């Protein structure tokens, strides 16, 4: 099944990233990173498992959300040009704003009530915590919140320009250009984290990662306008994939060799982590673009269902994953097995539910 006007492999990358988000969050309860997810089920004496899953999480964190912003940026100008500005704004508010509100006032309260000690009814909890705005949070829907801000900024830019930008095709950036860009972005990230360390959230946004997200959104816009993805050079891909084998082990080695707070501040650990993240992100993104373009640039009925359901999966997945993690809490199983069960079971369940949700009238206009 093919369509000359559809870039299938980019849709499939989004599906892959969505599944990775689910496994990322499925891993969090079984690490020592307490407080970053709704539930923790880390047992004493599981330091090795925690370290393994922590490394998996660190690799994901380095690239997967930034890649989402790149893909969103890539399609934004095309979507804007197909509609009048008012219709585009209405569409973005509908497709991004409503999911954020739904998570704030429906999904988040349900998830948080699931993991609290039931000393009060859900309705009392909702009245005391949510309706008073004392404890509301966007959860994973911070992505839609930030993307809405970026998109509205792009709309403002286009309205100020008045004329449509010229779209001139250009070659995919060279490895040298990508390397310099990754290094500069790493320095910028390090500088931002001197003031806004990892873990500091403002209005539901983690500022420590904002520069790379904004940059990749903008680069996505440029890539779309210059048709960079028409051809991802084999030489560039090989160089960056080879570089990955060198860069990836540097993070755990750094943890052993240097002291400091990798979340931010003026120390070698924070500097190394900021540089490592961006180098790793560029390498993985280039590799995935080349791989999916070569092997998955066609679709099928199953891929179509996955692609159509991906955003709905992203929205609902916390309830499903937390539900499975709660079922397994206290069960005598190895943490890695629990992680696998929550990840696989959660992914299958989320896609089954989402495939039904996208068929519901009115709901399917939002997701």
Tell me, what's the pLDDT at 45?
A: 61
Q: Which of 24-28, 63-67, 162-166, 356-360 has the lowest mean pLDDT?
A: 162-166
Give the tokens for residue 350. 């989320």
C-alpha–C-alpha distance, residues 258 and 270, integer Å:
10
Residue 320 has pLDDT above 90, yes or no: yes
Task: Count the Cβ atoms, other than its own, within 10 Å of residue 58.
Answer: 18
Tell me, what's the pLDDT at 65?
A: 95
C-alpha–C-alpha distance, residues 253 and 183, integer Å:
19
C-alpha–C-alpha distance, residues 323 and 320, integer Å:
5
CA count, 13 A, side-chain hemisphere, 35: 3
Q: What are φ and ψ of residue 202, in 5° steps?
A: -125, 115
SS3 188: helix
Tell me, what's the pLDDT at 5?
A: 56
C-alpha–C-alpha distance, residues 144 and 366, integer Å:
12
C-alpha–C-alpha distance, residues 339 and 53, integer Å:
9
Tell me, what's the pLDDT at 165?
A: 67
Exposure letters 195-222 (e unless 16+ CB within 10 A, then b) = ebbbeeeeeebbbbbbbbbbbbbbbbbe
Of the pLDDT bands very low, low, confident and very high (cuts 50, 70, 90), residue 249 is: confident
Strands 201-202 and 205-206: antiparallel
- Give the pLDDT mean for 292-317: 94
% pLDDT > 70, the chain: 96
Tell me, what's the pLDDT at 166?
A: 66
DSSP 22: H
Residue 112 has pLDDT above 70, yes or no: yes
C-alpha–C-alpha distance, residues 6 and 206, integer Å:
33
Of the pLDDT bands very low, low, confident and very high (cuts 50, 70, 90), residue 90 is: very high
Q: Which residue has the tokens 């707070």?
A: 261
pTM of the model: 0.93
Percent helix, strand and coil across the chain, each to the nearest 5: 75, 0, 25
Give the tokens for residue 216. 């990749």
Tell me, what's the pLDDT at 359?
A: 95
How does the average pLDDT of the chain come out, rounded?
A: 90
Tens-place pLDDT, residues 11-39: 999 999 999 999 999 999 999 887 789 99
Tens-place pLDDT, residues 121-167: 889 889 988 888 887 889 999 999 999 999 999 999 999 887 766 66
- Give the pLDDT mean for 346-355: 97
- DSSP code string of 57-104: HHHHHHHHHHHHHHHHHHHHHHHHHTS-HHHHHHHHIIIIIHHHHHII
Domain boundaries, the chain: 166-298
Cα–Cα distances in angstroms (integers) from residue 217 to residues 43, 77, 150, 183, 213, in the given order: 39, 11, 8, 18, 6
Tens-place pLDDT, residues 251-302: 888 877 878 888 889 999 999 999 999 999 999 999 999 999 999 999 899 9
The answer to whether residues 341 and 312 touch, using CB atoms and an 8 Å cutoff, is: no
Residue 317 has pLDDT above 90, yes or no: yes
Beta bridge partners, 205, equal 202
Q: Which long-range contacts (C-beta less than 8 Å, at least 24 apart) are formed by 110-113?
A: 110/319, 111/38, 111/139, 111/318, 111/319, 111/322, 112/38
Most confident of 115-124, 131-140, 245-254, 353-362: 353-362
Tell me, what's the pLDDT at 3?
A: 53
């Amino acid at each position: 099944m093919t369509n000359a006007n559809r870039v299938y492999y980019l849709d499939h990358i989004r599906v892959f990233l969505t599944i990775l988000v689910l496994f990322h969050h499925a891993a969090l309860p079984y690490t020592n990173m307490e407080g970053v997810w709704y539930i923790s089920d880390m047992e004493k004496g599981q330091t090795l498992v925690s370290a393994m899953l922590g490394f998996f999480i660190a690799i994901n964190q380095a690239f997967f959300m930034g890649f989402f912003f790149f893909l969103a940026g890539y399609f934004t100008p095309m979507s804007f040009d197909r509609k009048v500005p008012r219709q585009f704004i209405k569409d973005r508010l509908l497709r991004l704003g409503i999911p954020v509100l739904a998570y704030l006032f429906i999904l988040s309260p349900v998830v948080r009530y699931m993991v609290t000690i039931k000393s009060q009814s859900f309705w009392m909890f909702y009245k005391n915590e949510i309706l008073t705005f004392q404890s509301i949070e966007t959860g994973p829907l911070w992505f839609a919140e930030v993307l809405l801000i970026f998109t509205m900024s792009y709309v403002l830019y286009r309205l100020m320009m008045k004329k449509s930008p010229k779209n001139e095709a250009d070659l995919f950036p060279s490895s040298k250009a990508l390397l310099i860009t990754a290094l500069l972005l790493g320095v910028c990230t390090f500088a931002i984290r001197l003031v806004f360390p990892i873990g500091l959230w403002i209005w539901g946004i983690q500022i420590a990662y904002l520069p790379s997200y904004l940059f990749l959104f903008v680069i996505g816009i440029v890539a779309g306008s210059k048709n960079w993805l028409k051809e991802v050079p084999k030489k560039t891909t090989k160089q960056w994939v080879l570089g990955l084998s060198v860069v990836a082990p540097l993070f755990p080695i750094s943890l052993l060799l240097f002291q400091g707070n990798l979340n931010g501040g003026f120390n070698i650990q924070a500097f190394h982590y900021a540089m490592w993240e961006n180098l790793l992100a560029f390498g993985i993104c280039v590799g995935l673009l080349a791989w999916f373009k070569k092997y998955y640039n066609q679709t099928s009925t199953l891929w179509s269902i996955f692609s159509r359901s991906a955003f709905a999966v992203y929205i609902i997945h916390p309830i499903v994953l937390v539900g499975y993690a709660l079922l397994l809490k206290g069960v005598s199983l190895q943490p890695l097995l629990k992680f696998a069960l929550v990840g696989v079971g959660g992914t299958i369940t989320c896609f089954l539910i989402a495939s039904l949700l996208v068929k519901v009238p009115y709901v399917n206009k939002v997701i």
